[in-house]
């Protein structure tokens, strides 16, 4: 009887670890895909990646989705190329809530001019109807 309990415990542990790994992969991919919406100005896609109560904390300001959509529209005519490099420091999953902390280095080219920027960021995610969504992004720019 003991062996059955041990085997059952191991199977449950492996299942939980496997799900956490899958969730971790989904979360990092969601974040990377969402950053691409800034280049394509795809506010519809960005909204679908976020919760209904999404917030962005950027440059000392708190933006809701309406404010961020204004920024997407304002930048719609810009033609930029952007390469983002994520260095994930921490990912924690707690049921249907998760958060990550990472360093982001971006190379942004516009009109032939390359700008390199770096941020420390944290993101809170929530699982909504079985799908991970971005609930909050807190972005702190690091000056060179």
Whether the pLDDT of residue 4 is over 80: the answer is no
Q: Decide if pLDDT at 87 tops 50.
A: yes
pLDDT tens digits along 123-135? 999 999 999 999 9
Pairing of strands 50-58, 61-64: antiparallel
Looking at residue 59, its pLDDT comes to 86
- For residue range 15-74, list pLDDT tens digits in order: 444 455 689 999 999 999 999 998 899 999 999 999 999 999 998 899 999 999 999 999
Number of domains in the chain: 1
Residue 137 pLDDT > 80: yes
Q: What is the pTM of this model?
A: 0.83
What is the domain range of residue 133? Answer: 2-142
| pLDDT-derived band at 5, boundaries 50, 70, 90 | low
CA contacts within 13 A on the Cβ side of 110: 10
Alpha-helix runs per DSSP H in the chain: 2-40, 43-49, 65-74
Which CATH number goes with the domain that contains 102? 3.10.450.50
């Amino acid at each position: 009887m003991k062996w059955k309990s041990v085997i059952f415990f191991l199977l449950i542990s492996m299942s939980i670890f496997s799900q956490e790994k899958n969730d971790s992969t989904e979360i990092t991919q969601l974040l990377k895909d969402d950053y691409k919406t800034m280049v394509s100005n795809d506010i519809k896609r960005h909204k679908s990646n976020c919760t209904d109560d999404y917030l962005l904390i950027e440059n000392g300001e708190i933006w809701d989705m309406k404010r961020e959509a204004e920024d997407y529209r304002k930048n719609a005519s810009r033609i930029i190329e952007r390469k983002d490099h994520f260095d994930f420091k921490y990912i924690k999953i707690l049921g249907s809530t998760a958060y990550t902390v990472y360093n982001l280095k971006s190379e942004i080219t516009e009109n032939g001019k390359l700008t390199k920027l770096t941020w420390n960021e944290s993101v809170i995610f929530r699982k909504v109807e079985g799908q991970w969504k971005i609930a909050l992004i807190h972005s702190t720019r690091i000056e060179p």
